[in-house]
Amino acid sequence: MSRFYTDPKRESHPTALPDAEVFFRTLKQNREDGWVDADEDPMPAGWYYWFCLPGCMPDSEPEGPFESEAAAVADARERFGDDEE
């Protein structure tokens, strides 16, 4: 897992913490851990992200899957990042 800021402008702020994590899940992990979708089917393998402050439990359901880590981070920033100029 790696942490990132949904608003990259916050990275330089001395007291800001990353607010999301991106991670890769395999289909085997999903079956073993009980990760299922609304139909109780195993969630597809791939890259996911969720909102989570360091040392805390996730604040959201996982979003994904994405084909790459970069695609997952880009989606989070596009959908939830600060859009003020």
Q: Which domain holds residue 33?
A: 2-80
3-state SS, residue 36: strand
| Strand 20-25, strand 46-51: pairing | antiparallel
Residue at 56 is within a domain: yes
In terms of Cα–Cα distance, which of 85, 83, 70, 71 is closest to 7? 83
Residue at 57 is within a domain: yes
Q: Which helix (H) or strand (E) holds 46?
A: strand 46-51
Predicted pLDDT at 31: 67
Residue at 85 is within a domain: no
Q: Computed from CA positions of residues 42, 45, 47, 53, in that sequence, does the dihedral angle turn out positive or negative?
A: positive
How does pLDDT run across 14-60, given as a tens digit for each residue? 999 999 999 999 877 766 777 777 777 888 899 999 999 888 899 99
In terms of Cα–Cα distance, which of 20, 18, 7, 19 is closest to 66? 20
pTM: 0.84
DSSP summary character for residue 64: E
Predicted pLDDT at 70: 97
* The total number of structural domains that make up the chain: 1
Rounded mean pLDDT, 67-84: 90
